[in-house]
Amino acid sequence: MIHLGLIGYPLGHSLSPKVHTAALKACGLDGDYSLFPIPPDNKQALEELLERVRSGTIQGLNVTIPHKQNVIEFIDELTPTAKLIGAVNTIYLKDERLIGDNTDASGFLRDLKNAFDFSNLSFQPSVLILGAGGSARAVVYALLHDGWKVTISARRIEQATKLANSFPDYPGSIIHSSNLPTFNFHSFQLIVNTTPIGMSPNINESPLPENLSLPSNVFIYDLVYNPRETKLVKDVKQNGNQAATGLGMLIEQAALAFELWTGKQPTREILWKAVDH
Ligand code: NAP
């Protein structure tokens, strides 16, 4: 029997149990996926839960807001990706050591490439990232690693600067700015929203102004997946742009974590079916 679960707070609306329960079933494994809501300041509960992974009673944990950085002090070893991103979303035991990994970056990149055909892009394409919080770290890392020139726009310039400065291995590939209206949108091939703007219940909000003149060949990826089609995605589709919301990223990062825990690869169709209705 495999025991898996998710640490975070609050966890009421998480789709992860649906995805992982479907994955267990699809791979013929006997197991469960539990929610472990741990309030932000309860370090003791966090440590005790991680001890259950160390002792083998839990085989794998996902980590979400607000604990992606809080768990690091209880982990024995971070994978290079988790270290560079500075956040952990997947925990498991390997050779008696607690490993902290991060599948958000590869999950994002996989879904981005499933969603759009980038085969005609220039040598170093340009992306505009909206927001500079937790998920932006994984997205910026993924895109820099994939060869993109990254511009970060955030309402607090110091947050964008801090994020940009945490990737010193990519000099000249990362720019930060807070002045969205002054951008020349013709210079971007992709825009990624990593802010929660447009997320339910604020479904009539968008991180981009409605009257923006956006070239129709810019791809738009919105990490928000609730609602299934955000206002941003609806608006830009009306303008002729190709756009996607982040449900596929959620599925890909979950599937990658599941593979780390079990060695099995669930088919994506079954995972989509579990959440997409
Ligand atoms: P976060 O760490 O709180 O960061 C949010 C960022 O958005 C911060 O830079 C924040 O700026 C900015 N922001 C928030 N409200 C804003 C507003 N009204 N105007 C301008 N900027 C604003 O959150 P996160 O973990 O990155 O998550 C962001 C969104 O991505 C959430 O909707 C989450 O559900 C989604 N997400 C999806 C996936 C997926 O698998 N598809 C994965 C992770 C996250 P301040 O710091 O100034 O507030």
**Residue 267: how many CB atoms within 10 A of its CB?**
13
Q: Which of 18, 25, 43, 68 is an active site residue? A: 68
Contact 258, 23 (CB under 8 A): yes
At 158, list the tokens: 């110091």
pLDDT at 183: 76
Ligand 1, pocket residues at CB < 6 Å: 65, 131-136, 154-156, 159, 194-197, 199, 223-225, 246, 249-250, 253
Contact 14, 35 (CB under 8 A): yes
pLDDT at 184: 82
User: Which mutation among 14, 153, 195 tests ligand 1's pocket best, with the greatest number of atoms within 8 A of CB?
Assistant: 195
pLDDT at 177: 82
Please state the atom number of ligand 1 nearest to the C-alpha of residue 253: 40
3-state helix, strand, coil in the chain (%, to 5): 40, 20, 40
Distance 54 CA to ligand 1 centre (A): 31
**Residue 168: how many CB atoms within 10 A of its CB?**
8
pLDDT at 181: 66
- Residue 17, CB half-sphere, CA atoms under 13 Å: how many? 11
Residue of the CA atom closest to atom 1 of ligand 1 = 133
Alpha helix (H) residue ranges in the chain? 16-26, 43-54, 80-85, 104-115, 134-145, 157-165, 231-238, 247-262, 268-275
pLDDT at 121: 86
Distance 160 CA to ligand 1 centre (A): 13
Each of the 277 residues of the chain gets a pLDDT tens digit; together they read: 999 999 999 998 899 999 999 999 999 999 999 999 999 999 999 999 999 999 999 999 999 999 999 999 999 999 999 999 999 999 999 999 999 999 999 999 999 999 999 998 878 999 999 999 989 999 999 999 999 999 999 999 999 999 999 999 988 888 888 877 677 888 999 999 999 999 999 999 999 988 888 999 999 999 999 999 999 999 999 999 999 999 999 999 999 999 999 999 999 999 999 997 6
Residue of the CA atom closest to atom 40 of ligand 1 = 250
Please state the atom number of ligand 1 nearest to the C-alpha of residue 135: 26
Residue of the CA atom closest to atom 22 of ligand 1 = 195
Q: Tell me 203's DSSP state.
A: T
Please state the atom number of ligand 1 nearest to the C-alpha of residue 196: 32
- The verdict on whether 83 is a catalytic residue reads no
Distance 159 CA to ligand 1 centre (A): 12
pLDDT at 175: 86
